[in-house]
Amino acid sequence: MARIAFQDESAVVIIGSGAGGGTLAHELTRRGIQVVVLEAGKRQSTETFSQVPGEAFLQLTWLDARTQSGDWGVAKNFPTLPAWHCKTVGGTTVHWTAATPRFEPWELRAKSTYGNIPGTSLIDWPISYQELKTYYILAERRLGVTRRDGVPGLPASNNFKVMYAGAKKLGYKRVHTGHMAINSRAQDGRGMCIQQGFCVQGCKMGAKWSTLYTEIPRAEMTGNLDLRIECMATRIEHATNGRVNAVVYRDGQGREQRQKARIVCIAGNGIETPRLLLLSDSSKFPQGLANSAGQVGRNYCHQIIGFAWGIFDKPVHSWRGATLAGVIEDEVKNDPSRGFVGGYRMELCTLDLPTFPLVGLPYGWGRDFASIMENYRNIAGMLINGEDMPRAENRITLNRDVKDAFGLPVANVHVDEHPNDQAMRKHAQAQMSRVYEAIGAKRVVLGPTPPATHNTCSARMSADPREGVTNAWGQTHDIPNLFISDGSAMTTAGAPNPTLTIVALALRQAEYISREMKTHKI
């Protein structure tokens, strides 16, 4: 592993080691570029992943204090945990459930497709589908995505058999075990899925793609990566010419360190990325970095996510098998006659016994609540994963009244749901209920909106610098050597789970950065 000196001004500093940061680190280091990765979390491995759900949650989750506001259900149901993502080497690719659908071409043209929807800040992506598709193909090969490029699908689990039978009764056509970054056969030095069901706790087989055991060690093997764990970036500094030139961080002992940088790439997930930009305000950039248009932190999207549980009179044992390996894709279309724009997927889902009542069920207690729990083995599950509308006021801001361990303001997450979001959820809940009722469910229970796992668009790409934070390569409009390298840079949320798109954009960004470095533009 490389040891890059604090005063070395030639390195690229990447903040975060997840889908975006980890992939970018590998892509740059394999091209001979020296990279420092600052990762706030610790390093786990397939050996150290806990198989006790509560322990695994504490081992992997980003639990630093945050506040929230707005009328979304998360503020009411999970007041101290607006988002559920990771603080560990590999980032949220350690606990993700590995669904890897692509955006549809029309989803990238969100504003053109949906038109003027009042109360939204919709824009089109500055990238065409044709261009993104090239990188989707690369990303799918990298991740070993099932049902692409000759990779077989995953076998159907009990939970999926229930979803499939109901979906077919309703006449749905696009129903299968999903495009998953989970090995249906051993490949790429990783084992095959043995249907453990503990996807969220970290895959002890390594069958699920994670930068923790793919991109990061490969970047280390190039000799060009200096990975610093338990290092929390607190500020990005700039020179008088306005170019960024250093990242200040706290190391594992809480000491302040300063790493000089030629280029800085932020990949800290959709909440911490804008927070760091806002924390880095200066006399030259009083609103924070890359924020001359006032767009940093705005347009925060989290997708419409919510559970449906079908209770049957026969066992399902939904926990046996890959957590999310199943999907109904027929509702991924823009059909305003349904009462909303944009599309959604219905994706297979199950929660382990300890997590089910904490996250999966609506508020309740007493006999009715207990009767649902009593049926745990007879419950089939799925969730809606749909596009939410960007809104200027749905945003990440600094809450100066609440401070983190280093005395810095924490992030506040504000979300007011758009009527389109509510209409989509209502439609999806009705369809999910019909799927289960079509095959004789005794009862369907609709769960709450869980803490957000798909935090995106809070430093978005835009063709017009007034409407976003970065250009089509994730390069900030204001500062040419400052990049956004995670889901924050996505222009809109679309319906797909975001990781494949984050990886595709990171692959594309790595080409751009190395090209621009070679020609000394940055």
Partner 1 sequence: MDQLVTLNRRELLKSTTGLLMGWVVAGSPLALIAPGRAWAVDLTAFTSSEGAALLSMARTIAPHDKLDDAAYALVIQSVDGDASKDANTLKMFKEGLASIGTSFAASSESERVEALEKIESSAFFQTMRVKILQVLYSNPIAYAYFGYEGEAFSKGGYLRRGFNNLRWLPEVPTEDSGPLPAGA
Cβ-based nearer residue to partner 1, 195 or 282: 195
Q: What is the DSSP string of 200-248?
A: TT--TT--B--GGGTHHHHHHHTT-EEEETT-EEEEEEE-TTS-EEEEE
Cβ-based nearer residue to partner 1, 31 or 317: 317
Cα 144 from Cα 142, distance rounded (Å): 6
Considering the rule CB under 8 A, would residue 177 count as an interface residue with partner 1?
A: yes
Considering the rule CB under 8 A, would residue 44 count as an interface residue with partner 1?
A: no
Cα 261 from Cα 385, distance rounded (Å): 38
Considering the rule CB under 8 A, would residue 354 count as an interface residue with partner 1?
A: yes
Cα 499 from Cα 335, distance rounded (Å): 25
Beta-strand pair 244-250/395-403: unpaired
CB of 149 to partner 1, least distance (A): 14
Cβ-based nearer residue to partner 1, 113 or 158: 158
The interface with partner 1 within residues 432-461 (CB under 8 A) comprises 439
Considering the rule CB under 8 A, would residue 367 count as an interface residue with partner 1?
A: yes
Stretch that binds partner 1, among 46-54, 245-253, 292-300, 395-403 (CB under 8 A): 46-54
3-class DSSP assignment, residue 426 = helix
Q: How far is CA 407 from the centre of its chain?
A: 27
The phi, psi pair for 14, rounded to 5°, reads -110, 130
Cβ-based nearer residue to partner 1, 194 or 430: 194
Rg (CA), the chain: 22
Considering the rule CB under 8 A, would residue 77 count as an interface residue with partner 1?
A: no
Stretch that binds partner 1, among 65-73, 169-177, 230-238, 415-423 (CB under 8 A): 169-177
Considering the rule CB under 8 A, would residue 352 count as an interface residue with partner 1?
A: yes
Considering the rule CB under 8 A, would residue 73 count as an interface residue with partner 1?
A: no
From candidates 62, 135, 160, 285, binder to partner 1 by CB under 8 A = 160
| Count of CA atoms in the C-beta half-sphere (13 A) of 37 | 39
Which candidate, 79, 101, 159, places its Cα nearest to that of 350?
A: 159
What residues are paired with 176 via a beta bridge? 327
Considering the rule CB under 8 A, would residue 376 count as an interface residue with partner 1?
A: yes
Considering the rule CB under 8 A, would residue 358 count as an interface residue with partner 1?
A: yes
CB of 151 to partner 1, least distance (A): 9
Considering the rule CB under 8 A, would residue 189 count as an interface residue with partner 1?
A: no
Which candidate, 308, 307, 356, 314, places its Cα nearest to that of 442?
A: 314
Considering the rule CB under 8 A, would residue 194 count as an interface residue with partner 1?
A: yes
Cβ-based nearer residue to partner 1, 376 or 512: 376
Cβ-based nearer residue to partner 1, 374 or 464: 374
Considering the rule CB under 8 A, would residue 63 count as an interface residue with partner 1?
A: no
From candidates 76, 141, 185, 515, binder to partner 1 by CB under 8 A = 185
Cβ-based nearer residue to partner 1, 317 or 426: 317
CB of 405 to partner 1, least distance (A): 20
Torsion of CA 327, 333, 337, 340, to 10 degrees: 80
Q: Are 476 and 290 in contact (CB under 8 A)?
A: yes
Q: Are 35 and 17 in contact (CB under 8 A)?
A: no
From candidates 30, 176, 434, 443, binder to partner 1 by CB under 8 A = 176
From candidates 175, 277, 398, 469, binder to partner 1 by CB under 8 A = 175
Beta-strand pair 443-446/304-311: antiparallel
Give the H or E element holding residue 392. none
Cα 164 from Cα 171, distance rounded (Å): 10
Q: x/- string (CB under 8 A) for partner 1, residues 203-242?
A: -xx-------------------------------------
The interface with partner 1 within residues 126-155 (CB under 8 A) comprises 146, 152-155
Cβ-based nearer residue to partner 1, 367 or 520: 367
Cα 415 from Cα 367, distance rounded (Å): 33
Cα 223 from Cα 346, distance rounded (Å): 43
Considering the rule CB under 8 A, would residue 59 count as an interface residue with partner 1?
A: no
Binding site for partner 1 (CB under 8 A): 51-54, 146, 152-158, 160-162, 164-165, 175-177, 184-185, 192-198, 204-205, 314-317, 319-321, 352-354, 356-358, 365-367, 369-370, 373-374, 376-377, 439
